[in-house]
Amino acid sequence: MKEMKVPKNLARRISPKFRLLIGLFFSLLPYQILLIVINAVNGIVDGLFASNAVGQDAMTAIGLYAPMTHFLYALSIMLLSGSQFLYGVYIGQKPERVQSAFSVDLVVSFVVSVLTSAVMVLAVATDATRVMMGDPAKRDLFNRYLIGQAIGIPGLVLGQQLFAFLSIENQTKRTTAASIVCFASNGILDALFTVVIPLGTFGLGLASSVSEWLFFGVQVIYFLSEKSNLKFSLRSCIWSDIPDIVRRGYSGALARFLEMFRCLIVNALILKAVGSVGLSAFSASNSFLGVIWALPFGMVAVERMLFSIYLGEEDRESLLDTMRGIDNRRAFFSGLALEEMAGNVIEHGFTKDRRKNHSADIRVIHREDDVILRIRDDCLPFNPADRAKLLDPEDSTHNIGLRITFRIAKKVEYQNLLGCNVLTIHI
């Protein structure tokens, strides 16, 4: 999938200070749009099979389920927004707690999604769904659809969490592959479970569930590999992070929660005034509108990711302001390390990949008694720590700048986030 690029005439007018940030925005946007479009198209495909292979009343079942869809997306947004913001704070200030933000998010997502599935099954078992649909025949179709969907809710919620963290780790090819697998499998299974094996509305829900678990499976493979910087671990979980995740994430999900209530009210009004035919039409129109909403929702998702990464960094407008109050020796070392490593980016990173104009962004932070240098660039992946390990100790003149930096630094950390090299040097 090709990245979106900033138009050249616009790029020339952009301040160099924001060029890297805007480049990241446009490079990530297509993948977020793809995810939302595929979810919307899956809804359209479900509607086609519902109306043509199962019957018109099956569309009523899909329409009745729409508020639950909004609830699940609100839940996912709240958890991933909160965990990403917490991740951003930890990556810049408490890197040893990064694994906690990731692991706690997955644990809470799993527990809440399983409970949601259990409540849905309980509602069917106790016939509590009669509150939403009085007609016994149509309620039976809705109940079967609920059971089919309940199977896949943990896969849906967990898959959306992993999608966001994969984007942070610059695994856009895997997120694209997972989205395509979800789309293709949903269409194939819809045909299998409604035409070849006529399972009715249960088949429609089951097809969605299996595709959601496949969506999760394609992504989770990466986090089980050695390549992943993020590792799930119950031991790393700091459970006091849960209130922080909810507090930081609920505002981003508020619109979806309100949409859930709006949908419940509109469904009730349509059923009372028009009947199930009107609800079927309303459900079909909502599926098509989901494609239109892909752009604004995708933009919000990208903004959330970028904000989470920049949140933990304390920006300083100039090196001079930051160096006030520290000793001359560390000020000299900081300037030397910054000159060597930033110069290395320009000399080597900017020239190796000539396919695009590159940008670099530098932050200098004075926190407590530490001077922290952060250099971010959008060049090809390069970890100076790996290069430092390969240096010949007998040849002290080779890569002398790299040798000096690693000798005077208290700690050097490298990460590849959102497709950018991020080098953090503690002096």
Say what the pTM is.
0.75
What the block records as the tokens of 80 is 């991933």
pLDDT digits (tens, 9 = 90+) for 93-109: 677 788 888 999 999 99
The pLDDT of residue 47:
83
Contacts of 348 by beta carbon, 8 Å cutoff, 6+ apart: 382
Asked if 425 contacts 372 with a C-beta cutoff of 8 angstroms, the reply is yes
Comparing C-alpha atoms, which of 362, 329, 319, 356 is closest to residue 343?
362
CB contact at 8 A, 323 and 370 = no
Q: What is the pLDDT of residue 395?
A: 59
Run of H or E including 366: strand 360-367
Cβ pair 113, 154 in contact under 8 A: yes
Query: What pLDDT, on a 0 to 100 scale, did the predictor assign at position 318?
Result: 37
- Residue 253's region, left for phi above 0, alpha for psi from -120 to 50, else beta, is alpha
Tens of pLDDT, residue by residue over 62-79, are 888 888 888 988 898 899
Query: Within 13 Å, how many C-alpha atoms sit on residue 148's CB side?
Result: 26
CATH number corresponding to 319-426: 3.30.565.10
Give the separation between CA 214 and CA 211, rounded to whole angstroms: 5
Spans of the chain, pLDDT less than 50: 10, 314-323
Specify which residues 425 forms β-bridges with. 373, 412
CA 82 → CA 32, 163, 220, 228, 246, distances in Å? 18, 15, 20, 21, 6
Q: What is the pLDDT of residue 326?
A: 66
pLDDT at 9: 53
Ordered by start, the domain boundaries in the chain are 8-311, 319-426
